[in-house]
Amino acid sequence: MYKIVRKKVLNPTVTQMEILAPLVAKKAKPGQFIILRTDEDGERIPLTVAGTDPEEGTVKIIFQVVGGTTEKLNHMNQGDSLQDFVGPLGRPTETEGIKKVCIVGGGVGCAIAMPVAQEFHRLGADVTSIIGFRSKDLLILEDEFRACSNKLVVMSDDGSYGRHGNVTVPLKEMLEAGEKFDLIITIGPLIMMKFVTLTAKPFGVPVTVSMNPIMIDGTGMCGGCRLTLIKDGKPVTKFACVDGPDFNGYEVDFDEAMSRSRMYFGFERKSHESICNLYKQEAR
């Protein structure tokens, strides 16, 4: 069992937890993920590591309530224990040789982008961060990004905070103004990562995207997390859990990935509703 040491609500749908898992805390690097189960009948879900404290032996996770399991997780509190917590899985984000980087995060993806930005900052790179949210009340981690970025742009879809518009708007302006990034790293909804890649393409800047598909074991066994890369015009199947989660944005077949991410949409909706109803009954 893995104890929840601290819990913090970041916004109405996003929660941060620190979990006691000393072996994982010792090893995890930015870009890697963990898999957890809340209880004996729970499903295994992957969550990217949002930070570690190796001395305390804790791992930080940040999640958005989207389905049954995250709803259950959100109802757990400091002092409760998770059934299972395994990692770190996947490959860490490549940082070598990067002097000037642009980090583009969207929504809860910013939670994953934050430790990556911090790592580049620690390594002495020039960090530009563009973070976007639907609206002001969904904003997270602004102070953390400010602390590790040479330049920070906050965007909101509805204009309720920061600049109005998508993350691709300032990215395009910067690229057109002649900013020379060695690498753009984008983490967030698939559709956003697709458009960040398309925005960067005319400027020839390498783009790394962080994929977060449906997984079970996370060690390469099930193949559920497979995605297609187009290399030299040919499709190549890769497993996000062992080959990723970071991939070259120009090679990823985003449309397929978006379709696959909706495989259990019907189940997920039903499961979320039934779990919500359970909590409502308990509350009565």
Partner 1 sequence: MALDPKKHEMPVQDAVVRGKNFDEVALGYTKEVAIAEAQRCLNCKNRPCVSGCPVNISIPEFIAEIKKGEFEEAYRIINKTSSLPAVCGRVCPQETQCESKCTLGIKYESVGIGRLERFVADWHNEHATEKPAKPAPNGHKVAIVGSGPSGLTCAGDLAKKGYAVTVYEALHTAGGVLVYGIPEFRLPKKIVAKEVQTLKDLGVDFQENVVIGKTLTIDELFEMGNEAVFVGSGAGLPRFQGIPGESLKGVYSANEFLTRSNLMKAYRDVNDTPIMKGGKVIVSGGGNVAMDAARTALRLGAEVHIVYRRSMAELPARKEEVEHAEEEGIHFDILTDIKEILGFHNPDDPRDERNGFVTGVRCVKTQLGEPDEKGRRRPVDIPGSDFVLEADTVVIAIGTSPNPLIKDTTPGLEINSHGGIIVNEDGLTSRKGIYAGGDAVTGAATVISAMGAGKTAAAAIDEYLSK
At 237, list the tokens. 């199947």
212 binds partner 1 (CB under 8 A): no
Q: How far is CA 188 from the centre of its chain?
A: 6
Q: Does 41 interact with partner 1 (rule: CB under 8 A)?
A: yes
Q: Which of residues 56-95 bind partner 1 (CB under 8 A)?
A: 68-69, 83-89
Tokens of 169: 């708007």
Distance between CA atoms of 111 and 116, rounded to whole angstroms? 9
Q: How far is it, in rounded angstroms, from Cα 155 to Cα 140?
A: 12
Is 81 strand, coil or helix? Answer: strand
In single-letter form, the type of residue at position 76 comes to: M
Give φ, ψ of 279 to 5 degrees. Answer: -65, -35
Near partner 1 by CB under 8 A: residue from 27, 75, 100, 136: 27
48 contributes a contact to partner 1 by CB under 8 A: no
Of 141-180, binders to partner 1 (CB under 8 A) are: none
Neighbours of 248 (CB within 10 A): 13
Which residue blocks in 45-176 are alpha helix, DSSP H?
A: 68-74, 110-122, 142-148, 168-176
Coil/strand/helix, residue 170: helix
The correct pick among 9, 23, 66, 147 for binding partner 1 (CB under 8 A) is 23
42 near partner 1, rule: CB under 8 A: yes
x/- site string to partner 1, residues 237 to 256, per CB under 8 A?
A: x-x--x----------x--x
Please select the residue that binds partner 1; options are 19, 20, 37, 116, rule is CB under 8 A.
37
Nearer to partner 1, 59 or 171 (CB): 59
Angle, vertex CA 71, rays to CA 65 and CA 73, nearest 5:
100
Part of the chain binding partner 1 (CB under 8 A), chosen from 42-50, 115-123, 128-136, 144-152: 42-50
Q: Which of 169, 216, 229, 278 binds partner 1 (CB under 8 A)?
A: 216
Q: Indicate which single residue of 198, 222, 276, 278 sits in contact with partner 1 (rule: CB under 8 A).
A: 222
The DSSP secondary-structure symbol of 163 reads E
Q: CB under 8 A: which stretch of 34-42, 52-60, 125-133, 163-171 binds partner 1?
A: 34-42
Smallest gap from Cβ 262 to partner 1, in A, equals: 7
Is 43 a binder of partner 1 (CB under 8 A)?
yes
Choose between 59 and 183: whose C-beta lies nearer to partner 1.
59
CB of 219 to partner 1, least distance (A): 5
The two beta strands, 2-11 and 207-210, are: unpaired
Give the three-state DSSP class for 64: strand
**Crossing angle of helices 168-176 and 190-200, rounded to 10°:** 10
| Torsion sign, CA atoms 164, 170, 173, 177 | positive
Q: Residue 73 or 148: which CB sits closer to partner 1?
A: 73
Between residues 202 and 220, which has the closer beta carbon with respect to partner 1? 220
SS3 128: strand
> CA 45 to CA 36: how far, in whole Å?
6
* Chain residues in the site for partner 1 (CB under 8 A): 23-24, 27, 37, 41-44, 68-69, 83-89, 216-217, 219-224, 226-228, 237, 239, 242, 253, 256, 259-260, 262-268, 271
